[in-house]
Structure formats: C-alpha cells, structure tokens
Amino acid sequence: MNDLFLPMTAEDLKRRNWDGIDILLITGDAYVDHPSFGTPIIGRVLESCGYKVGILAQIDWKDPEALKVMGRPRIGVGISSGNLDSMVNIYTAGRRLRREDAFSEGGMTGKRPPHALTVYAQLVKQAFPGIFVAIGGLEASLRRVAHYDYWQDKIRPSVLVDSKANILCFGMGERTMPEIFRRVEKNESLRGIPGTAMLLGKKDAEAFTPGDNYIELPSYERHLEDKDALMESTITVESQMNSLGGCGLFQRYGDRLLVVEPPAKPLEAHELDAMHALPFVKKVHPKYKLGVPAYETVKDSIMAVRGCPGGCAFCGLVVHQGRQVMSRSEESIINEVKEMTQQPFFKGTISDIGGAAGNIYGSTANPEICKKCHRSSCLFPKICPNYKCDGLRTLELLRKVRAIPKVKHVHINSGIRLDLALRQKELFREIVHHHVSGHLKVAPEHLNDEVLKYMRKNPSAEFYEIMRIFEEESKKCGKEQYLIPLFISNFPGCTQKHMQTVDDFLKAHNWSLQQVQDYIPLPMTMGAAMYYCGKTSDGTPIHVNRGLAERRPQIQVLKKRRQFNNDKRRKR
C-alpha cells in the first residue's frame, strides 16, 4: 500500500508536479481507494498504463464549474454512477427514498442524482464542450440496451441515448477502458472494442453490416409498442453474455443504430493478481471525516473471485461480471492477508474471503466447451457437467490463511451457495467448525419450489438439508451458531399462497430474520422482464404484484419476523 490517493484537487496536482490530467474519472460514490470500489480500480489500472488520472467523487451535479478544479482533461472523461445503479442506491422497492447511502460519507443521502450517468455526462458536456466521454460501471452494464425502469415504470432506451456519451463500457472494464482511451489518444476508430456499445448516426447505421457475429434485438420503437419485445430481448441478451463466445448485438432507434460488441474476456488469475497488487491506499480519502459505511464492511475482507455461475433471475451480477468465475492465486490472497495484519485497524479477524459467494473459489471449466455455451446459469436447472468446484482449493486456502501469524479468525460473510455446499461436504464441515462468526448467511430466497423455479434456484429440499447438516456439525464442534437466511418477497409469480410457505416455516421454527428483501426488478435481468411482461420466458402467464398496496401483504410476512427479532434483542 501507499499513502498517495489519486488527485482530486489542484493542490493534489501540485504535490505530484503535474500541470494537468490526461483522464478525469467521475463517480457517484465517495472516494475510497480500495479494490472493492469500481472507479478506483479503473483509476489505478489507467495509472499503471502511464496516464495521469484524476478523480472527482460525488460532485455538485448542478454546477459545471465543480468539474474544473483540475482543468480540462487532455484525453477525456470516464463516468460511473458508483458501485450500484443510482436508482437502486436512492430508492427502495416501494419507490421511496432510502434513509442511508452506504457509499457516502457518514451514510448521508442526497449525494448523487437519480440516473446519475445521464446527469453527470450532460454536466461534463457543459463544463468541457466537445470532450470525449465514456460511461461505465454497473449502471451502464444494466442499461446498455433498451430496458424496463421500475422506478419510472416504463421502457427506457439505452443510457447512451439520454447521456449522449461517445461510448459505453459494460462489464468490469479493466481491459476495455485502457483500450478506449488509448484509441482516443491515437485518434483511432473505437469500433469493435469488446465490452463496449456505441450509438451510430444515420450514415454509419446505414453502412453497418452485421455479418454472422451480430444478432439483432427488437427495436426501441417495438419495445414501446409490444411488451413481449422486452422478453424477447432479454432472452437474446442472456444467451450472448458468454464472455468466451458471445456474439455482438444491435438495436434500432429510428434511423440510428445501437451496436453492442461481444463481452470482454474476463481477467485471468495472474491479471486479477496484478490488479490487486496495484498501489491502492486501501483507505477512505482523508477529506471524509465521518467515514464511509461501505468501506467498514470490506476493509478487513478479501475479494478472492470475480464472476458468478448462478445466473439467478433477480440478480444483475452476471449482467456485469459474467458467469465465468476467475480466482486469484493463493499467493496473491495470502500476501494481501499478511499486509492486512500489519494495519492499525486489524484486530485478528478476516471478516470474509469470497466474492459473489464464499464457496466458488477455485471454480474451473473447459473454456473450449464454454465458448459454445448459451445457458443463462452454470448451476440451474442442473449443474453443468463442465463446471467443477469441489471446494478443495477453498479448503486449502482457508487452512493456510488461518495459519498466518496474527490471524485469529477467518469468517465467510459473503455467504455460501447451497447448491454447491451440498457437493462440498468437507469444505462445508470446515466452514461450520472454523469459519462462522456466530451467524452464517445463506440465501434460499424462497421455500416454495414453484417460485424457486421462477427465480432459477434449486428446490427447497437443498436448504432443509443444509440446515440439518449445519445444526449437526455445530453440535459436534460445541458451538452455538445460527443460519441467517435471506428471503425475497413479491418476486414475479409469487402469490400470497406461495409466500405462506415461508411464513409457515418461520413460525414452525420460531425463526426471526435479520435481513429482508422486497423484490426490485433490476434492468436487463430476467426477473425484470417477467415483472414487466407478466409471463415467464416460455410464455406462461404469472401473477405479478404491482404497486405498494398489492406488495404490502408479502412484505409484512418478512417484516413481522424481523420485528420479532428486534423485540427479542430488546428483551435481552
């Protein structure tokens, strides 16, 4: 680690003896120089390529002058709304303002605008007329084509249309963003960069010849006229999210054409290691006196993997990170742990080693087979025979980390995938005996098998079996430990009768909840298409609760169990 943040002010430039910057990065999050935060990752990667990079975090989005503190960037501007889609960050499932923003100083709200990519991009155009603008991050990934916006309850065009950015980067961006700015600097064509999307004008649209490597999506105009267009589009997009063999896409907007290139290839293990070895300060920028809550949850954790094999219908992770699971090397992770043990804040506990889940480290698959795959999930409805994850690499890693001096505890707080845990008996036993902080997060999501099928989750029998094994192993090691299940209310197709299955279980086990979640249709996910269209991907009509009045009964099923938990705590 070092103590040199990427510059945010003119004074920072003077300390580096810079007369300006090459690239300005704008983010809707507070600036935390840590590899769990997207914009700092891109900043450090660009810095490693030799660029002078500045960051502006949570700027005054009503004042173009706020962007000029480091002058006009020589090459261009990169924009992200932050680690979350700005609408998810600002609004609840009930379309009400959230009370806390974990990615802002002191958890304060109001630090970023709704539809932040568009607002920031328009502000940049005012501050620096004619400058090159690239948008990226999760919000760009989720909104790269025509999509359903739950908060406005309508179809929106690609965010490129409203933002008027020059190019969109989807996915994680470590390969894509340096290539974009390299080409801009060299005045080369931006066409054909994997992991990007561009909106072509009339002339270029007419000249576009897709060939066999591009698939046409329903036009934006058809999306506005025909609800089924969103389902058709979602099925096609999902089938081409394969970063090893996906095709490009194109979508018509009147006489303009949106061209989405195939996904960028995921980072290999040595590339992930190199990214994590970049000179992150791994602290909150000193300008923030009240701290940043999101940093507190990751400062003593280790990100071990990238990607998720699950493809759950409600989750946007695959849209952004992809299905291919890439794992860092043991050496890289152990070096980071050793470095962490020397920090003043370290008290002996590693809060997490994981990513999308704590038991997907070491996943492997034959890439030649993966290239031909168009599945939406490696695990549902059955685990792909090409996907291997026996848990033994995770087991070996955890044992090595436990043996490091000053490490007293290693917890798995990112939770575990139930479908894999049942096939990783030795690892699961070890987790129960050594890596539970008292509570282990699991995500059955629901207990009604019909709803689980809609969610692309395996039958509830897996959760019951995990619960049995967990209780049995906890007794063997003499520890009082608890599972912390996450359930989702109001998923498309879930009726009150379906939700009663969850309520009956909670009552029968006298089980209180610490975390509850009412379903939010994230753009570009299958769940959002099901919500909007009122049907499954095969055309089967389903019941959908719309509006707070219809959603409230299912919300109450979970909230009353959470209240029960709070009442028990007060009695203690």
Per residue in 199-216, pLDDT tens? Answer: 999 999 999 998 889 999
For residue 571, pLDDT over 60 is answered with no
Q: How far apart are alpha carbons 410 and 301 in whole angstroms?
A: 9
Q: Kindly state the tokens that stand for 343.
A: 């920090």
Q: How far apart are alpha carbons 142 and 421 in whole angstroms?
A: 29
Q: Where are the alpha helices (DSSP H) in 403-479?
A: 418-421, 425-434, 449-455, 461-476
Question: 321-330, 510-519, 536-545: which has the minimum mean pLDDT?
Answer: 510-519
Position 562 scores a pLDDT of 60
Share of the chain above pLDDT 70, in %: 97
Q: Look at residue 252 and give its three-state secondary structure.
A: strand
Position 322 scores a pLDDT of 87
Whole-structure pTM value: 0.94
Position 513 scores a pLDDT of 77
Q: For the chain, which domains are there?
A: 10-260 (3.40.50.280), 300-410 (3.30.750.210), 438-572 (3.30.750.200)
Say whether the peptide bond before residue 444 is cis (omega within 30 degrees of 0): no
CA distances to 103, 319, 362, 558 from 172, in Å:
19, 10, 20, 34
pLDDT digits (tens, 9 = 90+) for 330-344: 999 999 999 999 999
Position 558 scores a pLDDT of 81
Dihedral sign (CA 81, 82, 88, 92):
negative
| H or E segment to which residue 216 belongs | strand 214-216
Pair type for strands 256-260 and 167-169 = unpaired
- Based on its alpha-carbon atoms, the radius of gyration of the chain, rounded to whole angstroms, reads 23
CA distances to 169, 207, 247, 256, 258 from 204, in Å:
20, 5, 20, 8, 11
For residue 563, pLDDT over 90 is answered with no
DSSP-assigned states of every residue in 26-69: EESS--B-STTSHHHHHHHHHHHTT--EEEEES--TT-GGGG-T
The count of other CB atoms within 10 Å of the CB of residue 447 is 23
DSSP-assigned states of every residue in 122-173: HHHHHHSTT--EEEESHHHHHTSSSEEETTTTEEE--HHHHH--SEEE-S--
Q: How far apart are alpha carbons 551 and 558 in whole angstroms?
A: 12
Q: How far apart are alpha carbons 482 and 438 in whole angstroms?
A: 6
DSSP state of 262: P
* 168, β-bridge pairs: 135, 197
Mean pLDDT of the chain: 94
Give mean pLDDT, residues 482-494: 93
Residues in the chain: 572
For residue 567, pLDDT over 70 is answered with no
Question: Which among 291, 274, 427 has a CA at the least distance from the CA of 336?
Answer: 274
pLDDT digits (tens, 9 = 90+) for 229-264: 999 999 999 999 998 889 999 999 999 999 999 999
Q: Where would I find the beta strands (DSSP E) of 297-435?
A: 301-303, 305-306, 326-327, 349-350, 352-354, 364-365, 387-388, 409-410
For residue 509, pLDDT over 90 is answered with no
511 confidence band (pLDDT: 50, 70, 90): confident
Pair type for strands 349-350 and 154-156 = unpaired
CA angle 237, 38, 346 (to 5 degrees): 135
pLDDT digits (tens, 9 = 90+) for 357-383: 999 999 999 999 999 999 999 999 999
